[in-house]
Structure 1
Amino acid sequence: MDSAEIIQMNDRHLFSPFVFRDQKLRNRIVISPMCQYVATEGMANDWHEIHLGKFAQGGAGLVMTEATAVTRDGRISHGDLGIWSDDHVPGLKRICDFISAQGAVPGIQLSHAGRKGSAQRPWHGNGPLLQEDLDLRGERSWQVMAPSAVPVDTHWHTPHAMTAAELEGLAGQWEQAALRAAAAGFRVAEIHCAHGYLLHQFLSPVTNLRGDAYGGDIAGRMRYPLEIVSRVRRVWPAGLPLFVRISAVDGAEDTGWDLEDSVLFARELAKAGADVVDCSSGGLLRPAMLGTKVRAFPGYQVPYAEKIRREAAVQTMAVGLIYEPAQADGIVRAGQADLIAIGREALWNPNWPMRAAQELGHDIFPDIGMSYAFHLSRREKLMKSLKSTSPQSACG
């Protein structure tokens, strides 16, 4: 059975459009947020525009920015993108305009690093900012905050436990960041509630030791992340989708957050206005993949997306070592997830969607610009001609 026959059997596949609220993705391929650590004071620059723009040219349906800080002190490092000021909007708008012009949908991941902030860029050590970072690069550390005064590790900065007034003030800054994102032209927003960053820190009993309404049992620990989702949804345009990225399991063995907790959380996220739950894992402790529950293998996080989709009745996105087109297509066809996010594979081949379309028997040309389509259509004809006239074909 060839690819065309398989496609006719099931009209829900990797290249079927995905419609949610007033938005339509041309396919179900999403470029996952990938931190670049090259911004200055949160400003988008040429690197970000070309980095993200080439994925739109390559045929992806949705292109997401890296984690973009809602406050200056909410960055992971000095190199993170930011959206805490109106000054950030013009640079981000240029990126949105270009992505949209290529037929893709621009998305932004809104984030606050919490206790994992004030960190070195990965190639400078990936640890906390130290005196040597100030001496060598002028990168000064800052006071980080978190649900409780629990540091990432013994040598990391001890965070300030957030007060009730700080919780309220930060919620307002999430709202302002969402308004700026809409003004810049983003058509999908994702709230980062995974990988050990601030909102994930509220969820886990490992990092949330609070005795007030924002701690204690699972309802208390979910309270602040759900408030943020509700408040962003309130100001985010009604016709635009809202994603939430979660770590479906902490990777902290039996002391942290597990998949059953994530199913419960996903149900509440849907009530708060989330349209898609982006299912990742780990990141709360160091190393990021601590614990056997997060052992990596191809498609290792797909079961999280499948269970949450089925039991919480919410649309999900699968991510993590999904790199073969047939693998991605099979996940969508089987109803394990609605969207497929790829990251490092897209860095290796920004035209991965074109490769996938070709391998799965779809027409690649409607999803790319005419400049590419013109040349690639001629290349395809030439390659077919060469195959038909090759010595091997003649001898066969």
Structure 2
Amino acid sequence: MSELFTPYTLRATTFRNRAWVAPMCQYSSVDGHPTDWHLVHLGSLARGGAGLVISEATAVTAQGRISPFDAGIWNDEQAVDYRRITDFIKAQGAVAGIQLAHAGRKASTGRPWQGHGPIPVAEGGWQTVGASALGFGDWPAPRELSTDEVAELPSIFAAAASRSLEAGFEVAELHAAHGYLLHQFLSPLSNRRSDRYGGDFAGRTRALLEITAAVREVWPADNPLFVRLSATDWVEGGWDLEQSIAVSARLADLGVDLIDVSSGGLDPRQRIAPGPGYQVEFAEAIRSKAGIAVAAVGLITAPAQAEQILADGQADAIELARVLLRDPSWPQRAAHELGDSIAWPPQYERGRWPS
């Protein structure tokens, strides 16, 4: 059996394979509630054979949405609406995961296909908040969160995690990447605070570590907890790989089971030269130096490529994104190409590739 289709266990949760769905925003929620689109979108990815299906960045407060059309889990009614989706994902043999997020200064923006960019308050947007009153590029500056407001974030994220459990999710991931609020605290480019949540490495990582501890306390001991990090800002003087390794080791001590390793998104000055597997080296470094499991993501599109990353010990799982939008059955096709056999829904059995 290939590495990609060998089952993988974290705590008491076993994933049927290591081909996982990365969180992908759909900008299709209504007041934070999932819709039929989410049922079909996430359900089709579970039906296609993925081992883990992580829903999109899901805001822990209304203010924390990337756009007015983003998913949320800041109230119990939203959690109830997710249950039919998580039930369907699990019925297909996949594990259901949720990414808990707050967009910070990158909130209150439009749908990408309608002109991505800040939405003014007069047009239905809202005042954004951030680690410091520094805008993303030429976007409006956020209001800096007070020390007391930052200290309240752990309870806000923990409440969202508790609702996620009630909604049927089995894996929770904290979004500390791509320039959103928790990443804004980590990077010296966006965090100029003078209180205990700013300054040196200890201060800039404090919010993430306090939130992680609070979520781990309410998240069941048998259920895995992930954190997504941008391993580097791709800007001189910003958050970098060495700091990512250091915070990953601290997160492991707090009960985090896996780091979902991405990069960038904090500063429009970033200079990235993307190519096949361009972020894998970051995942490999965190895995080897921080002693924690990692998922690799970013232009991993071919089954043989994914298999080689796992076989070489560079990552423990592969997260897939755009390639799954093109081909929701990618895991089933990959299994065929790698000479493996995985379960198909009986309704689709007649569509299997010839052996």
Question: Structure 1 length normalisation: TM-score?
Answer: 0.88
1:211 counterpart (194, 213, 217): 194
Query: What code does the residue aligned with 1:259 have?
Result: L
Verify: 1:310 aligned to 2:288, yes or no: yes
Matched, 1:87 2:80: no
Residue 342, structure 1, aligned to residue 320, structure 2:
yes
**Counterpart of 1:33?**
23
- Is 1:272 the counterpart of 2:250 in the alignment? no
Match of 1:184 in 2: 167
List alignment gaps of at least 5 residues for structure 2.
none
Residue 372 (structure 1) shift: 1.4
Give the counterpart letter for 1:266 in structure 2. S
- Work out which of the residue numbers 149, 167, 170 in structure 1 matches 2:133: 149
Instruction: Work out the CA distance in 1 between the residues paired with 2:346 and 2:11.
Output: 29
Match of 1:116 among 106, 117, 134: 106
Is residue 2:261 matched to residue 1:283? no
My pick for the range that moved more, 114-123 or 346-355, is: 114-123
Unaligned runs of 5+ in 1: 1-6, 135-139, 382-396
Between Structure 1 and Structure 2, the one with more helix by share is 1
> How many Å separate the matches in 2 of 1:380 and 1:176?
48
What SS is found at the alignment partner of 1:380? Answer: coil
**Counterpart-to-counterpart distance in 2, 1:369 and 1:276:** 29
**Equivalent AA in structure 1 for residue 354 of structure 2:** E
Give 1:62-77 correspondences, 5 Å limit: 62-77=52-67
Rounded to whole Å, the distance in 1 between the matches of 2:237 and 2:113 is: 31
SS at match of 1:255: coil
Deviations 1:121-143 (A, max 9, x none): 11222110037x82xxxxx1111
Structure 1 residue 201: deviation in Å? Answer: 0.2
Equivalent residue, structure 1, for 2:42: 52
Whole-angstrom distance in 1 between the partners of 2:70 and 2:250: 30
CA distance in 1 between counterparts of 2:217 and 2:101 reads 17
1:386 aligns with none
Pair 1:380-2:348 in alignment:
no
| CA shift for structure 1 position 258 | 1.0
Identity of aligned residues (%): 50
Deviations 1:293-345 (A, max 9, x none): x3200000000000100000000000000000000011111110001000000
Distance 2:82 2:332 in 1: 26
Partner Cα distance (1:142, 1:210) in 2:
23
How far does the alpha carbon of each residue in 1:166-210 deviate from its partner, in whole angstroms, 9 at most, with x for none? 112222111110000000110000000000000000000000001
Tell me which amino acid in the other structure corresponds to 2:335.
Answer: A
Tell me by how many angstroms 1:356 deviates.
Answer: 0.4
Q: Distance in 1 between matches of 2:14 and 2:82?
A: 21
Amino acid at match of 1:28: R
Larger radius of gyration: 1
- Matched with 1:172 is 155
* CA shift for structure 1 position 242: 0.4
Alpha-carbon distance between aligned partners in 1 of 2:4 and 2:83, rounded to the nearest angstrom: 28
Give, as a single letter, the amino acid of the residue that structure 1 aligns with 2:268: R
1:369 Cα offset (Å):
1.3
SS of match in other structure, 1:192? strand
Counterpart pick for 1:259 among 241, 265, 277:
241
